[in-house]
Structure 1
Amino acid sequence: MTIEPEVRTAAGVVRGRWENIVAVFRGIPYAQSPIGARRFAAPIPAQPWDGVRDALAFGPSVPQAGSAISDTGDCLTLNVWSPDLGTAGLPVMVWIHGGRYVEGTSSNPHQDGATLAAAGVVMVSMNYRVGVEGFAQITGAPNNRGLLDQVAALRWVRDNAAAFGGDPGNVTVFGQSAGTGSVAALLTMPIAAGLFRRAIAQSVPGTFFSPRLAAAISATIAAQLGVRATVDDLTRISPHALITATDTVLRRMPELVESWGPMALTPTPFSPIVDGDVLPYAPWRALATGAARDIDLLVGHTRDEYRLANPKFGTEVTDDELTATLERLAPNSDYRALHPDATPGELYELVNSDWLLRMPGLHLADAKHAGGGQVWNYELCWAFNRDQGASHSLDMLLVFGTLGRDDIRNHPSAFPNAADEAIHVANHMRTDWLNFANGNPGWAPYDPNTRTTRVYTATPTTQPYPEERSRRIWSTYQFDTLDLPG
Structure 2
Amino acid sequence: MSGQPSVRTTEGVVAGLWKHGQAEFRGIPYAQPPVGRLRFLAPAPPPRWEGTRQAVEFGPRVPQSMPDFGPAIAAPAGATDWLTLNVRTPDPGAAGLPVLVWIHGGAYIAGSSDDPMYDPTALTEAGLVVVSLNYRVGAEGFALLEGAPANRGFLDQIAALRWVRRNIAAFGGDPDRVTVAGQSAGAGSIAALLTMEETRGLFRRAITHSVPGWHCSRELAEEVSTALAGRLGTVPTAAALADVDPWSLASALTSLGAELSGHRERWGRLSRTGVAMCPVIDGDLLRETPWSALNGGRAGGTELLVGHTRDEFRLFTVMTGRSGTITDEDARTALDLFAPDPGGADAYRAAQPQASSEALFEWVYGDALFRMPSVLLAEANAAAGGTSFLFELRFGSPAQGGILGACHSLDVPLAFGALDSPTGRQLCGDPAIPEAVAVSRQLRQAWAAFAHTGDPGWAAYEPGRRLTRLVDAEPETAPYPEQVSRRIWEGHAPLPFDLVRGVRASGRDLGAALPGAGTGGTGPERDPDSKAR
Place the TM-score, normalised by the shorter chain, in its bin: over 0.9
Write the mapping of 1:175-190 to structure 2, written as runs, cut at 5 A: 175-190=182-197
Q: 1:133 to 1:460 in 2, by over 3 A?
A: same
Residue by residue over 1:125-145, the C-alpha shift from the partner in whole angstroms, topping out at 9 and shown as x without a partner, is 001011100011010000001
Distance 1:451 1:187 in 2: 22
Q: Conserved in 2, the CA contact under 8 Å of 1:285 and 1:480?
A: no
Spell out the pairing of 1:383-462 with structure 2 (5 A cutoff).
383-385=396-398, 386-404=402-420, 419-438=433-452, 439-462=454-477
Q: Does 1:304 align with 2:317?
A: no
Is 1:318 matched up with 2:327? yes
Contact 1:88–1:166 (CA under 8 A) maintained in structure 2: yes
> Is residue 103–residue 131 contact of structure 1 (8 Å, CA) maintained in 2?
yes
Q: Secondary structure at 2:315's aligned position in 1?
A: coil
What does residue 365 of structure 2 align with?
352
Q: Is the 8 A contact 1:39 1:235 kept in 2?
A: yes
Match of 1:472 in 2: 487
Distance 2:94 2:424 in 1: 40
Match of 1:361 among 374, 378, 382: 374
Kindly tell me: are residues 299 and 54 of structure 1, through their superposed partners in 2, closer, same or farther at Cα, counting changes over 3 Å?
same
Q: Distance in 2 between matches of 1:110 and 1:140?
A: 37
Residues 325-366 of structure 1: CA deviation (Å, up to 9, x unaligned): 211111523222212332101111111000111111111111
Query: Which fold has the larger relative contact order, with Cα–Cα distance below 8 Å and residues 6 or more apart in sequence?
Result: 2
| 1:266-345 mapped onto 2 (5 Å cutoff) | 266-293=273-300, 295-310=302-317, 311=320, 313-330=322-339, 332-333=343-344, 334-345=347-358
Letter in 2 for 1:344: S
The answer as to whether partners of 2:60 and 2:79 remain within 8 angstroms in 1 is: no
* Structure 1 counterpart of 2:210: 203
8 Å CA contact 2:205–2:304 kept in 1: the answer is yes
Task: Structure 1: state its 5+ residue gaps.
Answer: none
* CA shift for structure 1 position 47: 0.8
Equivalent residue runs for 1:78-89 within 5 Å: 78-89=85-96
TM-score computed with the length of structure 1 as normaliser: 0.95
SS at 2:166 equivalent: helix
In 2 relative to 1, CA 449–159 (structure 1 residues): closer, same or farther, beyond 3 Å? Answer: same
Conserved? CA contact 1:267–1:309, under 8 Å: no
The correspondence of residues 163-178 of structure 1 with structure 2, limited to 5 A, is: 163-178=170-185
| TM-aligned CA deviation for residue 294 of structure 1 | 5.0
CA drift of 1:94 comes to 0.2
TM-score normalised by length of structure 2 = 0.87
- Following superposition, the deviation at residue 255 of structure 1 comes to 3.2
Residues 147-192 of structure 1: per-residue CA shift (max 9 Å, x gap) = 1000000000000010000000010001011111111111111211
Corresponding residue for 1:146? 153
**What is the alpha-carbon distance in structure 2 between the residues aligned to residue 417 and residue 469 of structure 1?**
37
Q: 1:381 aligns with which of 394, 409, 426?
A: 394
Tell me if the contact between 1:322 and 1:348 (Cα under 8 Å) persists in the aligned partners: yes
Mean Cα displacement is larger for which, 345-354 or 417-426? 417-426
Residue 47 of structure 2: aligned partner: 47
Number of equivalenced pairs? 484
2:259 is paired with a residue whose SS is helix
Question: Which residue number corresponds to residue 133 of structure 1?
Answer: 140
Q: Partner amino acid for 2:60?
A: P
Q: Cα RMSD between the aligned structures?
A: 2.0
Residues 91, 121 of structure 1: 8 Å contact kept: yes
**8 Å CA contact 1:289, 1:370 repeated in 2:** no
Give distance in 2, aligned partners of 1:254 and 1:463.
41
SS of the residue 2:61 aligns to: coil
Q: Over residues 11-54 of structure 1, what are the superposed CA-to-partner deviations in whole Å (9 max), with x where a residue is unaligned?
A: 00000111122110001111001110101110011111000111
For residues 443 and 60 of structure 1, the distance between their equivalents in structure 2, rounded to whole angstroms, comes to 39
* Residue 237 of structure 1: how far off its partner (Å): 1.1
Letter in structure 1 aligned against 2:3:
I
SS state at 1:309 partner: helix
Relative to structure 1, the CA distance from residue 484 to residue 409 in structure 2 (aligned partners, 3 Å threshold; closer, same or farther) is: closer
Counterpart Cα distance in 2 of 1:174 and 1:410: 23
Partner of 1:109: 116
Q: 1:144 to 1:70 in 2, by over 3 A?
A: farther
**Hey, what's the Cα distance between the residues in 1 that align with 2:461 and 2:14?**
42
Amino acid at match of 2:213: G
Distance, in Å, in 1 between the alignment partners of 2:42 and 2:188 is 19
- Cα distance in 1, alignment partners of residues 479 and 321 from structure 2: 31
